[in-house]
Amino acid sequence: MRAFIFPGQGSQAVGMGAALAAASTAAREVLEEVDDALGEKLSRLMAEGPADELTLTENAQPAIMANAIATLRVLTREGGVRLAEKADYVAGHSLGEYSALCAAQTIDLPTAARLLRTRGQAMQEAVPVGVGTMAALLGADVALAGVIAGAAVDALLAEGGAALTCTVANDNDPSQVVISGHRAAVERAVALAKELGAKRAVLLPVSAPFHCALMQPAAEVMENALLDADLGAPLLPLYCNVDAAPIATVAEIRVALVRQVTGMVRWRESVLAMVAAGVTEFVEFGGKVLTPMVKRIAPDATATSVTTMDEIEALAAAL
């Protein structure tokens, strides 16, 4: 069995999609369709930068989706590969769920672009810049990360501070967990991490604390946006982040996409659940971020990333 998987924020880079668009009409049409949906040349920003503008959440999210779907579209249109015949599940990391659902034809491409623009803006506006942040804990599993986050909150309370948020945001793989919350609490967690057993802790260059309770205002925005969006039943089940379980109805998908704004990305558990369901092969479209995670989670599974024409052609031949 095979799962097609799609990366999340952090996989963006200046130049993304440019070579593929130059080589393929199918890829170029995807980028043009996203540009039309947003009423601006996101494709030019993707190709030329500047990097700081591309990294803005409201730009990075639709850009990552556009690049992933362009890659998949080349495979399906020019490689003659039918998604429903060659994959059994789709999954995505955070915003990658929108790419996965676009691939599975639950969300059409223009709608996915507009929803991700709304999502990016809402997540940025939910917390003033500087109030929240995120950090990666390396050499720590999800249980240890929870202990470190809790210890940071307790330490600040013991010093007479206010009750702050610091919680696990992304359970990426057995050795990489991301925490999120108020900056003071996350910074304290970073300071405590090594003492409590993590190998290393690194503050991430993000502008907001994603996947924690501070994102509740953004969740409310997305609830309304998703109610207005026209969604269809997916061609394939989606293994959703918040439950690490497959869902296949529009009602379940709407709820899951709202919950994931504040909920933990359970990527490690999702991969393990797919393997338990019989998946032996994972193919990542438009990035090289999830593939190494999958290899650390499920060493016996095959994991491949597809970003270039050569890689797409090799995959089409293999399929």
Give the residue extent of every domain in the chain.
2-126+213-318, 132-203
Catalytic residue (choose from 43, 94, 99, 270): 94
The domain 132-203 having CATH identifier 3.30.70.260: the answer here is no
Strands (E), 7-47: none
What pLDDT is recorded for position 101?
A: 98
Distances (CA, A) of 202 to 28, 176, 189, 192, 223: 37, 11, 10, 12, 32
pLDDT at 78 over 90: no
CB-based contact 59:119 (threshold 8 Å): no
The amino acid that residue 235 corresponds to is: L
Instruction: Pick the range with the lowest mean pLDDT from 33-37, 63-67, 205-209, 244-248.
Output: 205-209
What confidence tens digit (pLDDT) does each residue in 80-118 have? Answer: 888 889 999 999 999 999 999 999 999 999 999 999 999
The owner of tokens 């409310």 is: 220
d(CA 265, CA 122): 18
How far is it, in rounded angstroms, from Cα 27 to Cα 34? Answer: 11
Confidence of residue 221 (pLDDT cuts 50, 70, 90): very high
pLDDT at 206 over 90: no
Confidence of residue 229 (pLDDT cuts 50, 70, 90): very high
Instruction: Answer whether residue 130 shows pLDDT above 90.
Output: no
DSSP letters, 75-127, are IIIIS---HHHH-SEEEESTTHHHHHHHHTTSS-HHHHHHHHHHHHHHHHHHS
175 is catalytic: no
Mean pLDDT of the chain: 95
Catalytic residue check, 24: no
- Residue 56 has a pLDDT of 87
Res 55 pLDDT > 90? no
Taking the model in full, what pTM does it have? 0.95
Mean pLDDT, range 165-182, rounded to an integer: 97
Residue 11 pLDDT grade (very low, low, confident, very high; cuts 50, 70, 90)? confident
What is the predicted pLDDT for the residue at 145? 97
Judge if 2-126+213-318 and 132-203 fold alike in CATH terms. Answer: no
| Mean pLDDT in residue range 181-200 | 96
pLDDT at residue 286, rounded to an integer: 95
Residues facing residue 283 across a β-bridge: 4, 304
pLDDT for 205 equals 83
Span 282-293, pLDDT tens digits: 999 999 999 999
Determine whether 236 is exposed, middle or buried from the number of CB atoms within 10 Å of its CB (0-12, 13-18, 19+). buried
Choosing from 43, 93, 211, 270, which is the catalytic residue? 211
Q: Where residue 233 falls among pLDDT bands split at 50, 70, 90?
A: very high
Return the CATH architecture of domain 2-126+213-318: 3-Layer(aba) Sandwich (3.40)
